[in-house]
Chains A and B, each alone.
Chain A
């Protein structure tokens, strides 16, 4: 075990793993996190707290993680390189580990131009691959990026993201290989709607033997309404929603039920895909659906290890 987190234990135990995303509030109310934690607690193995997603200021990821930790939930701290330089990053990681956080997901972050402070200076001192490498160096060599020694252990289970739907398609697997080389222990992917393309990508992942080196969790976003389907298809950077899914949502008499069904069909196909070790459910503003989906997908009870 590298860090001994619940997420690591479940993945290393060979279980089909479930993680869920928890978006922190645009405010300081701990209740928001606690309520989501209560709701999802028995339906997943770890919960991600996003880091100012879409560059909109929210409660920090590490504080959300601590609130979950107090409830006995294994948190995944997300960290983007958009807002912190290498000094702040390493300092925040040491603080997070001191407080009991073990899983860290490394991302570039949506460009500041998308958020509610578009005039902010983007930091991007290091990139997401260099962040993965930095965390591995902290953990395995007990050294800072500059080479100086760290006192004590820095147990971390290191995550990275991959978007098989971004371009250039053929290069995505090479970049994934680079993230694994840098030190990624697990990967959470962008939401899968185009299952055909995802399966093609997974084939390339297996051809390169990468599924044996890293745990891949496929992203799932349950669609709540026709409007959401159209919005994601047309406006959300990095997400690819095929027209047929939008049409299904348009034609459905019960949009929410249809959205849940689509998610369940995708999960069924992913469960059959070699090299997929779990799913990561990002139920944006629709957390209530997560227990339903996890139960109907036959993924209960979650293992107690």
Chain B
């Protein structure tokens, strides 16, 4: 499982860097796998910034930027970091916010955080979980309709399911087709006869500001 990221257009990064001196932070975990914020991408970013006249005061690739050890890494690199006006973080938004937490510098994201997913074919990622806070996989044969159905239907499929594909794209499998096939194979299709009731979205990130005690 990884946090899937995509690099922002360079023009957007350039516009958000309102200081000439930049320090770059990369991430050795998810952003490295996605090839959006590993060592190679950090060095490429450094080159691109220098080409447009920005000065890169230093860079590092922290093994896992979202970890609290990021605090120590920033202290170790304090000299180079302090010379910069902004820190450009090439990790998911979790990493960006971790750096913000441990540094008073202006922190700018270089990536867009897309979803939590996995790689199914080389360089292709698909979403696994919407973190809805109330897992229904027991009812749906281990396939998540909230994540994988374009409408997030709990009692699907809709009328747009055709030949096993979703109405929004021929590349997207219909999650409900997958669910029905899987439940049929295990003789549990009757489980779908019950109407799944409306969901408590209050437990999900679309609801309130999430907090949880262990």
Contact = CB atoms under 8 A, between A and B. Distances in A.
Given A111-B167, A111-B168, A167-B174, A82 B180 contact: no
B168 A127 contact: no
A132 B197 CA distance: 12
A128 interface: yes
A145 to B, nearest CB: 6
B198 A108 contact: no
- Interface band, chain A: 20 to 34
Contacts of B181: 168
A124 B152 contact: yes
16 contacts: A82-B151, A125-B198, A127-B155, A128-B158, A130-B154, A134-B198, A163-B159, A166-B162, A168-B157, A168-B161, A168-B181, A171-B157, A178-B192, A181-B195, A182-B195, A238-B162
A110 B153 CA distance: 13
A178 B174 CA distance: 19
A178 B164 CA distance: 21
B191 to A, nearest CB: 11
A237 interface: yes
B193 to A, nearest CB: 7
Contacts of A128: 153, 155, 158
A178 B160 CA distance: 18
Interface of A: 82, 86, 108, 110-111, 113-114, 122, 124-130, 133-134, 145, 161-163, 166-168, 171, 174-175, 177-178, 181-182, 190, 237-238
Interface string B173-214: 010010011000000010011011110010000000000000
Interface of B: 150-164, 167-168, 174, 177, 180-181, 189, 192-193, 195-198, 201
A82 B197 CA distance: 17
B153 A127 contact: yes
Given A122-B151, A130-B154, A238 B198 contact: no
A129 B195 contact: yes
A171 B195 contact: no
B178 to A, nearest CB: 10
A181 B158 CA distance: 17
Nearest to A162: B159
Given A108-B153, A166-B158, A167-B177, 14 more contacts: A108-B151, A110-B160, A111-B167, A114-B168, A127-B155, A130-B195, A130-B198, A163-B159, A163-B160, A166-B159, A167-B164, A171-B157, A175-B157, A237-B162
A175 B154 CA distance: 12
Contacts of A174: 189, 192-193
A162 B160 CA distance: 11
Nearest to A189: B159
A137 to B, nearest CB: 11
Nearest to B197: A130
By CB atoms of chain A within 10 A, which of B158, B174, B181, B192 has the most? B158
B151 A166 contact: no
B133 to A, nearest CB: 15
